Amino acid sequence: MTEPIPSTPKRRFLSGLFGGRKWDRISVANPTSIVSVELMEKTGIFFPDAHLDSKKMAGLAAGGYEILGFDSVMPEFSATQEAEALGCVVDWGSPTMMPDAKTHPMKEVEALQIPENLLEKPSMKVVLEALELLRKDYGNYVGIIGKVFGPWTLSYHLAGVQEFLLWTLVDPDKVRRFLDCLKEVTITFAKAQLQAGADVVVIADHATGDLVSPKTYQDFLLPVHQEINRRIGGPTILHLCGNSSDRLRLFVEAGFDAYHFEWQVDSKMAVQMINHEISLIGNISNRGVLFGGTPEDVYKQARYSIEAGVDILAPECAVPLQTPIENLKAIVEAAKEGYVTQGFSPEDHP
């Protein structure tokens, strides 16, 4: 009798990403940051250094596997690496504060300019170097996730959220020109991250359900996302937060391999709508559960989503920095129970 192929973090992750064989249990991964103050203390690597020093960035990302037991490592913790390279003034924050772009320097199409040496900009280069280090140390055994921001989010950074959203109505042509120009940043950075050693790249693009309609996504962003996916070639995960129940099918059309979603979207409904045409990654709630809840609360949500049939288990979005480490480990513990829940009715929506 031949030995079964062992289920390793990398195999589980890749299999979940492409909706493949299920092994003994669901994979647990992190398309967005799982860094907390406690994780910084345990690794001895802190914000803001970890945003700007590739060794520290890789070291802190590795903590997600070494300390929390996730199947993947993901080194881009902030939403501002590209913003700084494009000219925003960034406050890189502190161990208890995420970085933020302080200025929105491009209000006009004419001002839009992508630096020629984009990948050489320190805030971009650091991510590529961190991915190379992670590939070297963990590439054979752990899933490696890269992350870039899509042109919609980059427009928020460069023009300001409110201005950009208003343009969708009063100056749609300007919106299209912003997206058309900035998609090149997304594509260039994504390709470089795959070449540096990422197994897959997350494309975070916040045309979120809380801000814009599905029609706005369809009219402005869908064709851009289709082009991005065509041109990148390698695997991609869409991260788009908020309640997106009304636009799930559009993400299938956009050509992503997987969609990373929030707890506001019911996982049973999502699995039914997506019908395994792309994979679903999610969706343990930050508010009130990972942050502010107990490991038992995390367990209940995790088991609900496993029973619902999501492909990979993950926090719904970048976790708050004060998230207790036990709650993050509780996701992995819930996954280790396998696919069938002991003593928990899948009908009980937590």
Partner 1 sequence: MTREEINRFYNALRDTTLATTETVVIENLKKKVPPIVILNEGVLVAMRIIGQEFKAGQIWVPEVLLAARNMNRGIEILKPELLKDKLEPKGKFVIGTVKGDIHDIGKNLVTMMMTGEGYQVIDLGIDVPKERFLEVISHDHPDIVGISALLTTTMLEMPGIIKAIRNSFSYPPRIIVGGAPVTEKFADEIEADGYGEDAIRAVEVANYLLSTGGQK
Instruction: Tell me which residues touch partner 1 (CB under 8 A).
Output: 96-98, 100, 102, 161-162, 165-166, 168-170, 210-213, 216, 286-288, 291, 320-322
Residue 265 parent element (H or E): none
Q: Which is nearer to partner 1, 168 or 283 (CB)?
A: 168
- CB distance 337 to 25 below 8 Å: yes
**Class of residue 27 by CB neighbours under 10 A (exposed 0-12, middle 13-18, buried 19+):** buried
Q: Which is nearer to partner 1, 128 or 250 (CB)?
A: 250
Query: Which residue stretches of 67-171 are H helix?
Result: 81-85, 122-138, 151-159, 161-170
DSSP string of 255-276?
T-SEEEE-TTS-HHHHHHHHTT
Q: Which residue has the tokens 């976790």?
A: 319
Q: How far is the CB of 213 from partner 1 (least distance, A)?
A: 5
Distance CA 146, CA 164 (A): 26
DSSP 110: G
Q: Which is nearer to partner 1, 167 or 299 (CB)?
A: 167
Distance CA 272, CA 308 (A): 9
Tokens of 36: 């907390």
Q: Which is nearer to partner 1, 58 or 319 (CB)?
A: 319
Q: Which is nearer to partner 1, 118 or 165 (CB)?
A: 165
Q: How far is the CB of 170 from partner 1 (least distance, A)?
A: 5
Q: How far is the CB of 74 from partner 1 (least distance, A)?
A: 20
Tokens of 163: 């201005």
Q: Which is nearer to partner 1, 88 or 238 (CB)?
A: 88
Comparing C-alpha atoms, which of 207, 178, 167, 168 is closest to residue 106?
178
Q: How far is the CB of 157 from partner 1 (least distance, A)?
A: 12
Q: How far is the CB of 168 from partner 1 (least distance, A)?
A: 5
Report how far Cα 174 is from the mean position of its chain's Cα atoms.
Answer: 27
Which residue type sits at 272? Q
A 10 A CB-CB count for 169 gives 9
Tokens of 142: 């752990």
Residues shown for the chain: 350
Q: Which is nearer to partner 1, 9 or 87 (CB)?
A: 87
Q: How far is the CB of 211 from partner 1 (least distance, A)?
A: 5
Q: Which is nearer to partner 1, 163 or 337 (CB)?
A: 163
Q: How far is the CB of 164 from partner 1 (least distance, A)?
A: 9
Q: How far is the CB of 254 from partner 1 (least distance, A)?
A: 19
